[in-house]
Amino acid sequence: MASTDTRQDTLKRLRGGTGKLSTAAITSLDTEYAWFRDLPAQERSWVGTVAQAGIDSFVQWYADPTRSYRGAAEVFSAAPPELTRSISLQHTLGIVRTVVQVVEDHCDEFAAPGGEQELREAILRYSREIAFSAAEVYARAAESRGAWDARIEALVVDALVRGEVDDDLPSRAAALGWKPGPTLVMVGLTHGTLGEVQSAELRRSIRRTANGALVGIHGDDLVIIARSDTDMDELTQQLLTNFGPGPVVVGPPAVTLVEVARATRAAFTGVLAAPAWALSPRPVKADDLLPERVLVGDSAAREKLIAVAYDPIVKASGALVDTVSTYLDCGRSLELASRLMFVHANTVRYRLKKVSELTGWNVLSTRDAHVLETAFALGRLRDSSHSAL
């Protein structure tokens, strides 16, 4: 243990040499770390401020080791909070290590005769405390960012579920890492009511599969919005395991945020409508549930069903309209339809094939016939209301 006089002499030398130590620390950082050399001038100055504060903090602590120790919180208060976003914890520990090494390398210069060993031991104790403290600073910053991101994410997903894309939504989504591009939307149920810990684990599980995915948990409803350039069918199957029992609906393809909002609304109403189709697959596409979505009051589904399954046939020719109408109205019988229309059954079959090529729905299929039957009923009601006006 060094004498009081030796300690005071060492302290005086340290106080007089803080400027030299700071300069040596910055020079060492510039020599050893490429990430420091690549930092913009402002961030470099912040790091320099932290290095200086670290040396000053050590000197103050050395003057009175029994004083209340604030560690990295004290050191980092000299720089803006943005510093924790500019450099990683690993880089921060590199700064601490460099500062400690510089002070240690100058022990013989600043320690009073006979006080070298005590100064080295003091440096080691201080470096341990400051390293643990730095980790705590970053943990708090990460927790704060996580809580803020969670609030922003909830706002974004809620807006997309409601279909409300205002001027602020793109910037909020961008802050969460979302950018325009192929986006997968999936909606289904969770595995029952989730607590805070279970919800957090579910989000981590989803993001391990789809990095940066937006996740909304609304009671028992789970919404996943994943921007990805990978195969969407494969991603869908990978994410499917995160949903609980019941229907899982995939929204239409989306690229822009407006399209994502439409896809989210479609998927949400699809979950409500899916039970009406007993044989619906899992997952099922929202566009494959257009008739069922109409039943639950989805006006967008009604308009789309008419646009893709009725209007193209009407515009094509009167013969196709009459053929489909007759075939559906007479119980989907080729023979009966051909007799009522006074044409051969092969003619009816040929026209129905043209309808399939035109719309993508095969009228001879039970499910597709149901889709077209609903579309024709809606189309006739629309045309009737227009003619009445």
> What is the per-residue pLDDT for 274?
95
Domains of the chain, each with CATH number or no CATH: 4-144 (no CATH), 177-285 (3.30.70.2730), 310-388 (1.10.10.2840)
3-state secondary structure of 217: strand
Report the range of poorest mean pLDDT among 19-23, 119-123, 205-209: 119-123
**pLDDT level of residue 79 (50, 70, 90 thresholds):** low
Report the share of the chain in percent with pLDDT over 90.
26
This prediction's pTM? 0.61
Kindly state the helix (H) or strand (E) to which residue 191 belongs, with its residue range.
none
So what's the pLDDT on residue 240?
A: 94
Mean pLDDT of 149-174: 78
In this prediction, residue 304 carries a pLDDT of 94
Q: Residue 387: what pLDDT?
A: 60
Gap between the Cα atoms of 243 and 267, Å rounded: 14
* 3-class SS string, 27-93: HHHHHHCHHHHCCCHHHHHHHHHHHHHHHHHHHHHHHCCCCCCCHHHHHHCCCCCCHHHHCCHHHHH
Could you read off the pLDDT of 340-368 as tens digits, one per residue? Answer: 889 998 998 888 898 888 888 888 888 99
Q: Which of the pair, 201 or 147, is modelled with greater confidence?
A: 201
Sign of the CA dihedral with 324 first, then 326, 331, and 337 last = negative
Residue 208 pLDDT greater than 80, yes or no: yes
pLDDT for 53: 78
Number of separate helices (H) and strands (E) present in the chain: 20, 5
Band the pLDDT of 151: cuts 50, 70, 90: confident
What pLDDT shows up at residue 148? 55
